[in-house]
A and B are shown apart, each in its own frame.
Chain A
Amino acid sequence: MTMKGSLLCFALALTLIMAIAIANANANANADSRATSATSATVVRAVNVIQSARTWLSNNRLPSLPIPSGQASQYVSSNSGQADISSNYVQSNVQSNLEALRRRECEKAGLCCTSPFGDRLGENPGKGLQQVSVRQTDGAECALTVMFN
């Protein structure tokens, strides 16, 4: 083979190698890429207000369960008693607000609704029951408001 022929072969071989390399690079660039995401959900129990064996809600509304999202469910008592609030779900909060429906008259008479938790229950994480006791006299109505937050 002549010198010219050898160089021509070398040049052609070089061209072919580069073409293959470029084709491979393009093939790699055009290959798809994928990524995986974890996904999760937590199913919880409804917040529940249970009529206790005592006299809470004795002649009032029955709880409507579960409490709709972002809304409050209110229960009215016309007598003293106790309610059990079940918050048997994980990493969520229940807030309750205990107040006199007729606060002005209540304050005037010095007969207000009370509970061990004050006016606001606050967070109630974890499982189990939380109790609210209400004492009132003189016919003043007390309202217990339970809501998701």
Chain B
Amino acid sequence: MKIFPALSYAALATLFLLMASVTSAQLNPLSIGNTRSLSFGSFVAQAGGTVTISPTSARSATGSVVLVPSQSGYSAQFTVQGDADASYTIDLPADATVVLSGPGADMALTGFTSEPSGAGGRLGITGDQVLSVGVSLQVGADQIQGDYSGSFTVIVTYN
């Protein structure tokens, strides 16, 4: 049949293209969902300082801030999903671009950290990974008592 060579050529080209694309690309979009909000817990401000929550939820204070142990706070947690064993990069907010607002002056968040961090994200064999985020809160002198709140966004991208 005379048309066979043309069809074969086109079919082979398509097949190669498909194979090359499938082997080189992640076909599952990367997704991330927030599963736990970040809380600094309760503390006394006094002359001000910082309250830091680590990605492992360890809390510490500097300056004259006094922590209240019964309300200890915890880090934020996200679940990242995509292709199994794929690596990805985590982008966190820059310093002082996020604030907590409440009855007193705004309190800025600085020094976002995460576990994993940077370009070190890697999904497991089931295609997911837990991402934990911590940060420091800048507490002003004589910060007015009350509840403060805000939000921040985490971005993940395949490497």
Contact = CB atoms under 8 A, between A and B. Distances in A.
Interface of A: 3-4, 7-8, 10-12, 14-15, 18-19, 22-23, 25-26, 28-46, 66-70, 89-93, 148-149
Contact of A33 (B31, B107, B135): B31
Contact of A8 (B10, B36, B78, B145): B10
A44 B14 CA distance: 67
A33 to B, nearest CB: 5
A46 B39 CA distance: 20
B130 interface: no
Contacts, number: 199
Contact of B17 (A18, A37, A89): A18
A149 B158 contact: no
A94 to B, nearest CB: 10
Classify the secondary structure of A's interface with B.
mixed
Contact of A149 (B27, B45, B69): B69
Contact of B70 (A22, A26, A92): A92
A41 B40 contact: yes
B120 to A, nearest CB: 16
B96 interface: no
Given A3-B3, A34-B156, 10 more contacts: A11-B9, A14-B14, A18-B14, A29-B83, A36-B34, A39-B40, A43-B146, A43-B148, A67-B66, A148-B69
B156 A32 contact: yes
A93 B29 CA distance: 47
Contacts of A90: 42, 147
A74 B5 CA distance: 96
Given A7-B3, A38-B37, A44 B156 contact: no
A142 B137 CA distance: 40
A29 B152 contact: no
A54 to B, nearest CB: 27
A40 B155 contact: no
A21 to B, nearest CB: 10
Nearest to A23: B21
Contact of A29 (B27, B38, B139): B27
Given A32-B155, A46-B44, A92-B71, A37 B133 contact: yes
Nearest to B140: A43
Given A15-B17, A28-B29, A40-B147, A89 B10 contact: no
